[in-house]
Structure 1
């Protein structure tokens, strides 16, 4: 059997986890937030600045990403710092970037 014909692994837990992550990442603003954060840990105000919308809007989407266990956050003084929780999300984002945002030669 060629590598192209190998079916994807279909464990129910994996399907549910992938579906949950893709739903959370499916909103353009949430995907942009994740792209801005990348492998870094950033304060919410820096995310607001780079994404270019209101703090209230960003906070709502960060809450959704946190609820879906895509990002985690912690308080440091008066700042809330956010980072991507699971390295697999970064791997997925890298694959999406290679697929949808190929570098120009």
Structure 2
């Protein structure tokens, strides 16, 4: 394997990239790289419906890319692994001058 990566590490990394390859999911991750947000905040920022956002949040959460916490009747989402924030920061630096 390349650079001493195990086959499992490469497969897990590929699944992470696949999860954020969708434009809306990438936009959500970029938003969350700036800090924790509620589902309502994300809906407002993305300009789409709560069911649509929830579907994408679930996919990202199932890949362990996001973590969530509940406070009263609100669910807050944040990036679970700060390495993803670093990757998003590098992508923004390269492509979003």
> TM-score, with normalisation over the residues of structure 1?
0.85
| Structure 1 residue 79 displacement after superposition | 0.2
| Structure 1 residue 35 displacement after superposition | 1.0
Match of 2:29 in 1: 34
CA distance in 2, matches of 1:23, 1:13: 15
Aligned length: 96
CA distance in 1, matches of 2:10, 2:49: 34
| Structure 1 residue 11 displacement after superposition | 2.1
Which of 29, 36, 45 is residue 40 of structure 2 equivalent to? 45
- The reply to whether residue 19 of structure 1 matches residue 14 of structure 2 is yes
Which of 5, 18, 22 is residue 10 of structure 1 equivalent to? 5
1:49-98, Cα deviation, whole Å (9 max, x unpaired): 00110011000000000001110111100100000000010011111112
**Gap runs ≥5 in structure 1:** 1-6
Greater radius of gyration (CA):
1
Match of 1:3 in 2: none
| Structure 1 residue 13 displacement after superposition | 2.7
